Amino acid sequence: MKLYNDTYFDLKGIVKLKTVIIGATGYGGVELIRLLQNHPHFEIGGLISSTKAGESIQDLYPHLAHCSYSLRELTLDTICELGECVFFATPAGISSQWAPLLVERGKVVIDLSGDFRLATEQIYQAWYGKDAAPQRWLDQAVYGLSEWFTAQIQSANLIANPGCYPTAALLALAPVLQAGWIRTESLIIDAKSGVTGAGRTAQQAMSFSEVNDNLRPYKVDGHQHIPEIERYATELAKHEVKVNFIPHLVPMNRGILVTIYADLEDQYTNQDLYELYRETYESKPFVRIVGQRWPQTKQVQGSNFCDIGFHVDQRTGRLILLSVIDNLVKGAAGQAIQNANIRMGFAEEAGLTDSPLFP
């Protein structure tokens, strides 16, 4: 394993590597802080905020009263002096400007935004409405769906962490797409997410009185995760995949449940599905196949697990897939750390083995 400038061994001889979190005051950044604090190999070298520099994280988040981190300004020299592995937990349009500069300075960058997930500048600009990173950096970025792109992640210096909805959807779809068991011209993805998926910035639509006692769809006319899902579903299936993807906001803090409807190519059974998914994910520590026990968001809350269930409807010839994740962990910070573990040669599950919170 390559040792970086800010890598050292502690008194027990354990490798330690300093990390930097850019965008540390958002929900994704705070979740990175929570998970990295107990990581056996990563240490937080510094926290960066473009809007809260000079303040302390415990003043912004009282539950972190035991932390003594002060927020630093967003400058290239500051980032480079604080650590070797850099996490961007920033809104779209920021990492596209900064990540290439850091990679050129020898840093490993893991981007939790969508700036490097899509194939071309034109597609990014059409779906995100922002200027894209230069094409050569889009080409260089490796997609960080940990269970499916492990080999590429091991040598990547720029990792595009998947979106929360695409993580849940693609982990459920990938085995049957790769096996060719479903028809790909009529995939329907019905998705529901907790409110933290919208971030921490104050919005009227996210206020308690708007969200509580309510269930609403949004971006029905086109969500920015559609091209991401289609791009990597197509790569897995080896031919073009189109999806109808409809997200919904539900009145809870965390969690995503996706229900996927697909027409089967043949008369497969639930046992066939179980064997396929068991074999596919048997060496993947964070995917749990629950079959007909119907996954629920509560059973993965606070964890890096993705639970997958399924049902073959023999009457209609349709497969129903169900997938749940915590949108802030497996859908963001947890998978980012999983990717950092893979890239740095640590155990994939290092720092991520805590059980889900229940009740």
Contact 72, 78 (CB under 8 A): yes
* Closest to 24 in 3D by CA, of 64, 80, 84, 71: 71
Residue 85 is among the residues annotated as catalytic for this protein: no
DSSP reduced 3-state for 14? coil
Contact 184, 233 (CB under 8 A): yes
Q: Which residue in 67, 80, 85, 164 is the catalytic one?
A: 164
Rounded to the nearest 5°, which phi and psi values hold at 64? Answer: -105, 30
Please list, in sequence order, all residues whose beta carbon lies within 8 angstroms of the beta carbon of residue 324, skipping any fewer than 6 positions away: 168, 255, 256, 257, 258, 295, 296, 297, 299, 300, 306, 307
Tokens in use for 62? Answer: 């009282």
d(CA 78, CA 58): 21
Measure the CA dihedral 161/166/171/172, to 10°.
170
Question: Residue type for 156, please?
Answer: A
Beta bridge partner(s), residue 47:
21, 71
Measure the CA dihedral 156/160/165/168, to 10°.
0
d(CA 241, CA 210): 35
The conformational region for residue 180 under phi > 0 = left, psi -120 to 50 = alpha, else beta, is left
159-179 burial by CB neighbour count: b if 16+ within 10 A, else e?
Answer: bbbbbbbbbbbbbbbbbbbee
**Rounded CA Rg of the chain:** 20
d(CA 95, CA 111): 7
| Residues catalogued as catalytic | 164
